[in-house]
Structure 1
Amino acid sequence: MKAIFSVISLSLLFLLSACSVANQVRDGKTAYEAKQYKVAVGLLQKEFNKAKTRLEKGKIAYMLGLSLKATNQSEQAIDWFQKAYDNQAGTDALKEMAQALKMAGRYADAKEAYKNLGIEIGSPYEYRKEIAACDVAEGWKKIKTPEYSVEPATFNSKYADYAPVFFKDQLVITSDRATATGDKKVYAWTGNDFSDLFAVNTQTGDASNFSAAINTMANEGTATFNANFTEVFFTRCTGTKKEDQFCKIMHSVFDGTSWIAPEPLSFQQAGINYGQPCLSADGKTLYYSALHPDGWGGHDIWMSERVGSEWTEPKLLPRTINTLGDELFPSLDNDTLYFSSDTHPGMGGLDIFKTYRLKNGDWAPAFNLKPPINSMGDDFGFLVDYQSKRDSGVTSMGYFTSSRSEGQGNDDIYTFERRYVPPPPPPPVAERPKEEPKAKLILDGFVLEKIFQDANNPNSKVLGRKPLPESKVDIKIGNKTETITVDAEGHFRLELSENLDYNFLASHPGYLNNSAKFSTKGIAKDPKNPEQIFEIEIVLDKIYLDKEIRLENIYYDLDKWDIRADAQPTLDKLAETLKLNPKVRIQLSSHTDCRGTDVYNESLSQKRAQSAVDYLISKGIEAQRLEARGYGEGVPEATCACARCSEDEHQLNRRTAFRVVE
């Protein structure tokens, strides 16, 4: 199950990513763009056979591979990504093929594809982690685990079933099976219905709609309950037919007769996806995953504590847990926190990891559960079972979700048992050193620059990153600052102290300064691992003097020029860049499409550009460093005849940009 951000499964997409409502489509490209992947597969296969040029075949094959991946058909996707690459679809197709090979357990082929990808974009650095992960996974795949037995749960359906939790003597699962509430038109992403919460009798396998108050026409799922089952927290993704859907954590209370109308938790912000809540046994701490701009990267695990009836400002869990990638589906077993990650070393897709909180409040390093719990597919939603009767010799048992190939649905729930198996005789003990090595926390930093498809065009596609040698890095620790120069690989190494915040400012002549931060707060040293190694990456943007650089996600309402809430994060980031580069002056420019009169368009674009400038001034940027310029329709990016411009071309011309003028 893979999402837009590269490693999330279909089920996760239901409850973490933006979704689109099914529309009637007549061709594969339209179906694909509408995220109607089940529909797209059939249409694109026919269109590929009719395509007359290699370029056209490459585009179709690439969309087909992505559609198959989105519907958990990785093996079939590999062939189509190969066809796409062979037909000039470029490095995107090769990258997708490498990931699909990894998820199929074809690690040697995946390593070769990643190596070729690094050579093609001109940066072996970009895929070094993926190659190393394939080496690790190859070793884990050979592990023998006689103590474990893993079986598909008897209540799985041919649909997606996932994220089990206990509710009294039943399980509550998330599923998009045919009896789900929601739009009765088929959900075109999968060909199935919308997702809902279902109560499952584990003895009979019978599943019923959990509650009409909880399940609606939207997508619901991934629930958690308090200890006496009078509260439920769950994810709901909703939006209008013309908008993307955002997911929120909802809360409902059982009043003795029924569940009351759910309400979203108050700490959630607009335009951000929240999901997969997990409540501690005492009901005081809520863990969840969110794609938040203040996170470490991708989706991260956060926590909030309940004080009375209010929830505290959420806290980001430390880098022992969160990475630059995606961390998802937290669950608890007493003091042990389980979660899934696509970036900690793993088998292919999402792997399940565990950690626990130490007496001093720090979190232990994440430990991969390895096979047979983890597989080449996506594995998540781990649940320990203390309710079922155990045979003698069973030390632990429970459930988890997996998209592994032997399942019957898109995602299936599996049961596991772990029995006591006497360990083999220990090997001869080597003479121990007089003193155990002292555990260390090590930070590897990299200063990088972007690789553009057109080296002279900062608006062209970014193919990857490569090291930027001889960059300077100012490291601030408390009131002390030291400056170092990175090596030929753009690398520097730092031994970290405990319970400190580190701030980094990287610079290079001809590039914009950029910053990064790292904190050892909450990170525990591991005596079993003498060196815990973490990474940060600082990407510097080359200064293209007097060249326009498009600002993404800057939109305005019709005939208006005020800065919308969804445009603020982009301008906030620009403001931060200007603060880090106090000598830089920029021009903020706004453009319209060709519709409307010249005078109207020039006036509107000038007001929009001035609004952007005013917003930056409100964020502390000096007015003399900013210039507003409205170009109207005079400098189009798409040079089509106005009457023949597509809506995409009109959107391309309706843009806000900046250029460095000094």
Structure 2
Amino acid sequence: MSVKLRIIYIVFAVMCLAVSCSTPEKHQKKGDMFFAHGEYFDAAAEYKTAYSTTPRSDKEARGMRAFLMGECYRRINSTSKAEGAYRNAVRYNYVDTTTYFWLAEMQRMQGNYKAAQKNYELYLNLQPNDLRTRNGIESCFLAPEMKEKGSTYSVHPVPFLASRRADYCPVLFGEKFDQLIFTSTRPQATGDEESGITGMKNGDFFYTSKDEKGKWKPVESLQGSVNSAFDEGAAAITPDGQTMYFTYCSVDPEYPRYAEIYSSSRSDATWSKPQKVEISSDTLSSYAHPAVSPDGKWLYFVSDMPGGVGGLDIWRAQLDSHGIGLIENLGEPINTPGDETFPTFRFNGDLYFSSNGHPGMGGLDIYCAHPDTVNNTWKVEILPSPVNSSGDDFGMTFEGVHNRGFFSSNRKNGRGWDHIYSFERPEVVHTVTGWVYEQDGYELPQSTVYMIGNDGTNMKFGLKGDGSFEQIVKPGVKYVFLATCDGFLNYKQELTIDSVEHSTCDTVYFPLPSVNSPVLVRNVFYEFNSAKLTDDSRSALDKLVQLLKDNANITIELSSHCDYRGNELYNRKLSQHRAESVVDYLIEHGISPNRLTAVGYGKLRPKVVSKRLAASYKFLQEGDTLTEQYIKKLKENQQDTCNALNRRTEFRVLKTTYGLFDDSGKIDAKALLDNKAPKKTGKTEPVVKVYIPTPAEAAAADGKKLPEKKTESKAVGKSAANTRKNAPAAEQKSDTKTPNRVVPAKKDTVKAAKSDAATGQTKAAATKKDSTTVKLQNGAAKPQTKETKSAAKMNEDSLKAGKAKEDSAKAAKQKADSLKTAKVKADSAKAAKQKADSVKAVKAKADSIKAAAVKESAAKAAQPTAEDKNSKAKAEKTNAKQQKAVQTKENAPTASDKTAPKLTKAQKDSAKAVEKAAKAKLKAEKKAKSDSLKLAKKKAKEAAKAKAAAAKKREQIQKARVKLAAAKAKDEARKAADAKAKNVKTTVRKNANTAKSETAKTPATTKNTPAKKSAETNTRPAEKKMTLKEREALKDSIIAKAKRDAEAAKAKEKK
């Protein structure tokens, strides 16, 4: 009994000694030491032991130790354990009032916003001016709204980067952003010891990249000398990808754990030994979470150094050739009394960072700061849910210009371990669509478009069949598009995309002016009854200026047109002055006068309806000419439309080699490459050309036709429509050879000129003012006339009359009388001559008609009466026309022009029927030939298909035969092997029995005889009896041989 009591006493004594050695005070003291070194995981374990061993009656000590335990759990992101510890501190009435604040923070980080709001309000009653508490209360209202509202972001975990420990701070880099570095505490990290801060291994860098198919390769440790047994994390790569800055934390038992920034250089695929970045001489502050600005000139980092707004702030240091330069705090609105951490940049200069000092959803939330370079400040906004959560969200990285990438978060993780998530927002795509077409509306799919951007873009591409193209462009880049096409002038458009938040589709148009036809200058307006340009015309004329600058080697004719209404002479003068006004505007804006020619056409060149006009106005047909006769047949509102179309300003290209040749006639290479017009020395003036119409053009403007004349030139003898169609070529030829084309004056024109000369001094002065001297290409100045009048005579008479009136009234009156007398004589002489010519012409025409009738009646005697009537009618019609004629002998039609006989209606119908039948027959033959060709092709195709099917079927049958033969051979081999094995077995047994019987008959003492020897020989197989394995081996060898034979047969058959 005494022995048992002694043992009990010994055990009790040991227990008392153990309790005395592990008092709460010792554990608290040890926890304080860990806490001072920043090893919060180890400190929390000691505080927990001290708390659990403290008697419940000692409320003050339990409250203090619970609060210290909560501080450690909060720092290692174990929010649920921290909340429990703070609750215990409140329960034991711990005196530190910040307990309410930190308890509210932990509750908000877990999404318990109502409880958090209550504890924030309790703390605000104790500290009414605390900004962080007010932000926390605001967040309790803001977070549920953000969560309910949501966004277009999609967030997902990344399995290939996940581990059973912490993974955080991903960084995308490389030319295509196809490389990734991140920090992890996974078991593969360097070193064997666990961190006293987190209870896990120290962080190391890990690396992955995409393969050729765009898939991420397996994760591996970063090559080089960066990783160590200590803690590395939160990397930043410079824009050139050659330098890496990162956070480094060493473990020194004699000093607290301070963070520092190190750098490493890249050589091929490895990183050099890190070097410390000396930011400041302050050794008691931490420097962490580096980030490099997009231009590579600034190093941003996080520090608690003095001079900040509060807590951890974001600072920046200037990078120069000597290292670190100027250091400055970013200040408000980025920094707050809370903590701002993990800065990263996007390509456009936007700064992304995490903060718990701004209103948010809880813990660290991600914010975006847009730079305002004008006011040198930032505009801060929070990223929406689900990017942000009630936990810690930080370390955002983007895949170049795309709205996707990775970030870190400890959401939905009770241990507080971080993991990497991917995010993506619907892609913002900026496209530009363009159309290249001729100004009249015809598409030009044969054109080529060049796209040049200030980011280095240089592209050349063709167009679709409808003359359009579509290209993707980048925001913030200035683009220049140049459209070119043979036979057309170049056209340039500029475009810059500003928006980066929403997808856009811009449209640009390229109406290419033609080199070979007139080009309408739209939206050119003049004041009423004046040649003065309105302010609304400047925009259209500025485009023309730019067009001429872009095509510096062309010269143009600038023309103005009127409708048919009003006085014709007045309209001609007005259109001339308006053309000159446009030319003056172009000269004022830098266009050389040598490249410009002003022409006023009045009503002489009515508009020809183009495809574009026909599509816009349904009552018009493509190819119609808007002459006076055409317009008067339309409705009143349609007439107004056509008259408006006739009132226009146009230009056409005269020459495309201006300035390309020097004085010696050699091409100027510099002018050709620069596309710049040469600078001319000396004073120059634009060419002012008063256009003198041909009779055909004058008749075309009125919608009439002139009678054909044998002696007329081709330009005069053509119809109005052909004249309008071929006008550009005819004019260019005229400008080159005979720029001053003068036509004979009519009788009434001369009469009007002489009448004007006799009306007095005012009329003479006006006539003198209206006369225009034209500068010809050969340098000679000649007087010009108005439409269909003798310019020389008109101006000469006008000048003489004006001079006579200026000298004396009497001289003018005498001259007028003499002119009247001369006029009467001239008229009488001319009338007599015309009468004689008319009689001759009538007689000649009658003779030609009679000859034609005789010839036709001889050829076709079927209808002599009708032919006589037609001849008589033609003769009467000719006599009537000749009596009304006022033309001179030079303009009178000759008899030979009317001698060609005309076909009858029946003959025309017969010819048409024959032609139609011939066309139908030809069409039928072509169709039959085409059908037979198609049928032959179809039959050939079907025959080829049938042949291929038959060949395939034969091949399948052959394969089946080979397969069957192989199966048969295999089966036969198996049967042969079984039979052979059975025979062997039977033979063995038989020999064994024979040997046994022989042995029984022979005496034991008998010597070996031949019979015995034979028996012994027969019994040898029995002595070496085949085992089961041997039999199976024999069987397998036989089967194998059969297989080989079958395969050989198969190969032979294939061959």
* Counterpart selection for 1:297 from 288, 310, 313: 310
Deviations 1:52-75 (A, max 9, x none): 122232233223323332332212
Deviations 1:273-307 (A, max 9, x none): 11111113332222222222122222222222333
Residue aligning to 1:196:
204
**SS of residue matched to 1:301:** strand
**SS of residue matched to 2:357:** coil
Residue aligning to 1:380:
394
CA distance in 1, matches of 2:318, 2:375: 14
Deviations 1:379-417 (A, max 9, x none): 111111249xxxxxxx62111111212488611111011
Alignment of 1:155-234 (within 5 A): 155-168=161-174, 169-182=178-191, 184-201=192-209, 203=215, 206-234=218-246
CA distance in 2, matches of 1:343, 1:29: 32
CA distance in 2, matches of 1:376, 1:403: 9
Whether the 8 Å contact between 2:169 and 2:183 is mirrored in structure 1 is yes
CA distance in 2, matches of 1:162, 1:249: 18
The 1:298–1:409 alpha-carbon spacing in structure 2 relative to 1, beyond 3 Å, is closer
* Counterpart selection for 1:116 from 105, 118, 122: 122
The runs of 5 or more residues in structure 1 that have no matched partner are 1-24, 388-394, 422-662
TM-score by length of 1: 0.54
Deviations 1:428-463 (A, max 9, x none): xxxxxxxxxxxxxxxxxxxxxxxxxxxxxxxxxxxx
**SS of residue matched to 1:304:** strand
Answer yes or no: is 1:332 the counterpart of 2:335: no
CA distance in 2, matches of 1:384, 1:317: 23
Alignment of 1:431-580 (within 5 A): none
Residue aligning to 1:60:
65
Aligned length: 390
One-letter amino acid of the structure 2 residue matched with residue 61 of structure 1: A
One-letter amino acid of the structure 2 residue matched with residue 317 of structure 1: L
**SS of residue matched to 2:134:** helix
TM-score by length of 2: 0.35
Whether the 8 Å contact between 1:29 and 1:40 is mirrored in structure 2 is no
Residue aligning to 2:371:
357
CA distance in 2, matches of 1:92, 1:359: 40
Residue aligning to 1:346:
360
* Counterpart selection for 1:313 from 292, 301, 326: 326
The 1:50–1:280 alpha-carbon spacing in structure 2 relative to 1, beyond 3 Å, is closer
Residue aligning to 2:289:
276
Question: What's the CA shift for 1:171?
Answer: 1.1
The 1:248–1:50 alpha-carbon spacing in structure 2 relative to 1, beyond 3 Å, is closer
The 1:124–1:262 alpha-carbon spacing in structure 2 relative to 1, beyond 3 Å, is closer
CA distance in 1, matches of 2:278, 2:190: 26
One-letter amino acid of the structure 2 residue matched with residue 158 of structure 1: R
* Counterpart selection for 1:404 from 403, 408, 411: 411
Question: What's the CA shift for 1:86?
Answer: 0.7
The 1:308–1:135 alpha-carbon spacing in structure 2 relative to 1, beyond 3 Å, is same
**SS of residue matched to 2:160:** coil
The 1:129–1:145 alpha-carbon spacing in structure 2 relative to 1, beyond 3 Å, is closer
CA distance in 1, matches of 2:360, 2:387: 12
Whether the 8 Å contact between 2:264 and 2:275 is mirrored in structure 1 is yes
CA distance in 2, matches of 1:382, 1:58: 39
Residue aligning to 1:87:
92
**SS of residue matched to 2:149:** coil
The 1:122–1:87 alpha-carbon spacing in structure 2 relative to 1, beyond 3 Å, is farther
Whether the 8 Å contact between 2:154 and 2:423 is mirrored in structure 1 is yes
One-letter amino acid of the structure 1 residue matched with residue 279 of structure 2: F
The 1:254–1:146 alpha-carbon spacing in structure 2 relative to 1, beyond 3 Å, is closer
CA distance in 2, matches of 1:408, 1:152: 19
Residue aligning to 1:631:
none
Residue aligning to 1:414:
421
The 1:291–1:39 alpha-carbon spacing in structure 2 relative to 1, beyond 3 Å, is closer
Query: More displaced, 233-242 or 396-405?
Result: 233-242
**SS of residue matched to 1:232:** strand
The 1:396–1:273 alpha-carbon spacing in structure 2 relative to 1, beyond 3 Å, is same
The 1:250–1:94 alpha-carbon spacing in structure 2 relative to 1, beyond 3 Å, is same
CA distance in 2, matches of 1:383, 1:97: 32
CA distance in 2, matches of 1:134, 1:409: 21
* Counterpart selection for 2:146 from 129, 140, 148: 140
Whether the 8 Å contact between 1:61 and 1:83 is mirrored in structure 2 is yes
**SS of residue matched to 2:372:** coil
For the pair shown, the structure with the greater C-alpha radius of gyration is 2
The runs of 5 or more residues in structure 2 that have no matched partner are 1-24, 429-1055
The 1:101–1:29 alpha-carbon spacing in structure 2 relative to 1, beyond 3 Å, is farther
One-letter amino acid of the structure 2 residue matched with residue 60 of structure 1: R
* Counterpart selection for 2:54 from 51, 56, 65: 51
One-letter amino acid of the structure 2 residue matched with residue 154 of structure 1: F
The 1:38–1:250 alpha-carbon spacing in structure 2 relative to 1, beyond 3 Å, is closer
Residue aligning to 2:74:
69
Residue aligning to 1:242:
254
Whether the 8 Å contact between 1:149 and 1:418 is mirrored in structure 2 is no
**SS of residue matched to 1:419:** coil
Structure with bigger strand share is 1
Whether the 8 Å contact between 1:403 and 1:412 is mirrored in structure 2 is yes
Alignment of 1:25-36 (within 5 A): 27=27, 30-31=30-31, 33-35=33-35, 36=39
The 1:133–1:200 alpha-carbon spacing in structure 2 relative to 1, beyond 3 Å, is same
Question: What's the CA shift for 1:237?
Answer: 2.0
* Counterpart selection for 2:336 from 305, 320, 323: 323
CA distance in 1, matches of 2:139, 2:303: 25
The 1:263–1:105 alpha-carbon spacing in structure 2 relative to 1, beyond 3 Å, is same
CA distance in 1, matches of 2:279, 2:413: 40
CA distance in 1, matches of 2:131, 2:220: 50
Whether the 8 Å contact between 1:161 and 1:409 is mirrored in structure 2 is no
Deviations 1:530-553 (A, max 9, x none): xxxxxxxxxxxxxxxxxxxxxxxx
**SS of residue matched to 1:188:** coil
The 1:204–1:307 alpha-carbon spacing in structure 2 relative to 1, beyond 3 Å, is closer
Whether the 8 Å contact between 1:159 and 1:409 is mirrored in structure 2 is no
The 1:241–1:415 alpha-carbon spacing in structure 2 relative to 1, beyond 3 Å, is same
Question: What's the CA shift for 1:246?
Answer: 2.2
Residue aligning to 1:370:
384
CA distance in 1, matches of 2:132, 2:89: 22
Question: What's the CA shift for 1:29?
Answer: 5.5
Whether the 8 Å contact between 1:224 and 1:278 is mirrored in structure 2 is yes
Question: What's the CA shift for 1:46?
Answer: 5.2
One-letter amino acid of the structure 1 residue matched with residue 247 of structure 2: T
Whether the 8 Å contact between 1:157 and 1:408 is mirrored in structure 2 is no
**SS of residue matched to 2:319:** strand
One-letter amino acid of the structure 2 residue matched with residue 227 of structure 1: P
The 1:361–1:279 alpha-carbon spacing in structure 2 relative to 1, beyond 3 Å, is farther
Q: Supply the RMSD in Å over aligned alpha carbons.
A: 3.0
Residue aligning to 1:431:
none
Question: What's the CA shift for 1:336?
Answer: 1.0
